[in-house]
């Protein structure tokens, strides 16, 4: 394992000790219906077509994308849009995050989200699998679902970016080995831009997390976005 991966693993071990995984999962799941309703309303609003010189980016994921526990303008999608603008990239970032979503739930709603947009997006950022891991679901099933999501985006000719997760250490070495390789292997298979660990720079930092110990607060979101935005900009330029 490389030095950076060792550092991430150490932080993740600290991270796992800060939270009760079952409580986190239950909280995310309870919030999902409300988030799904919000997503439908926002999808209707997405009929407003961005200007021709404005890129359309879709942030398709779970609570980490949805902005769980944050004000509407503090989540990942609006923060990413601001960061891209500050970097000279004109982009509209559509929030297609739903709290509690597993990779299977994401696969089920993918076509609904894409078909509800007024035009084909320039980039879809896929951030799913964290809830699969927290629930101890089969890594093979997670891989299959993410593979199907990326395959559908390939079929539609949509450029993709994949944000990864790492398995919590309490799930064991075998589970971690199977889960952690999903993201780099699928990114290679589908030619997707990869950001290996979405919570890099935030995990284990209680000052950057909500009281639940897992979701970034507004300052944490800014840290994540400062790392992700350059890769998004690069993917849009390809």
Task: Please give the positions annotated as active site.
Answer: 63, 212, 215
Whole-number Å distance between alpha carbons of 229 and 236: 11
Distances (CA, A) of 140 to 35, 101, 105, 129, 168: 27, 17, 15, 11, 17
Q: What is the DSSP letter of 216?
A: B
Alpha-helical regions (H) of the chain = 3-18, 21-45, 63-66, 76-86, 103-116, 130-134, 139-155, 173-180, 182-190, 218-237
CA 232, CA 238: separation in Å to the nearest integer?
10
The DSSP letter of residue 63 is: H
Rg (CA), the chain: 17
> What are φ and ψ of residue 152, in 5° steps?
-65, -40
Residue pointed to by tokens 């209707």 = 44
């Amino acid at each position: 394992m490389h030095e950076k991966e060792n550092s991430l693993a150490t932080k993740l071990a600290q991270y796992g000790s800060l939270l009760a995984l079952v409580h986190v999962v239950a909280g995310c799941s309870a919030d999902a219906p409300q988030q799904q309703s919000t997503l439908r309303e926002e999808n209707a609003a997405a009929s407003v077509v961005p200007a021709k010189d404005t890129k359309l980016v879709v942030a398709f994921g779970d609570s980490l994308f949805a902005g769980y526990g944050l004000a509407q303008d503090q989540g990942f999608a609006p923060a990413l849009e601001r960061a891209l603008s500050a970097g000279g990239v004109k982009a509209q970032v559509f929030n297609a995050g739903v709290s509690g979503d597993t990779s299977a739930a994401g696969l089920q709603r993918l076509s609904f989200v894409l078909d509800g947009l007024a035009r084909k997006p320039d980039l879809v950022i896929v951030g799913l699998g964290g809830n699969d891991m927290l629930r101890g679901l089969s890594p093979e099933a997670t891989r299959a679902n993410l593979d199907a999501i990326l395959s559908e985006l390939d079929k539609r000719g949509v450029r993709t970016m994949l944000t990864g997760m790492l398995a919590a250490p309490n799930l064991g070495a075998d589970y971690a080995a199977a889960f952690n390789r999903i993201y780099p292997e699928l990114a290679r298979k589908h030619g997707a831009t990869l950001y290996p660990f979405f919570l890099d720079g935030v995990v284990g930092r209680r000052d950057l997390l909500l009281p639940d110990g897992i979701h970034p607060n507004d300052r944490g979101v800014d840290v994540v976005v400062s790392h992700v935005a350059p890769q998004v900009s690069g993917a849009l330029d390809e």
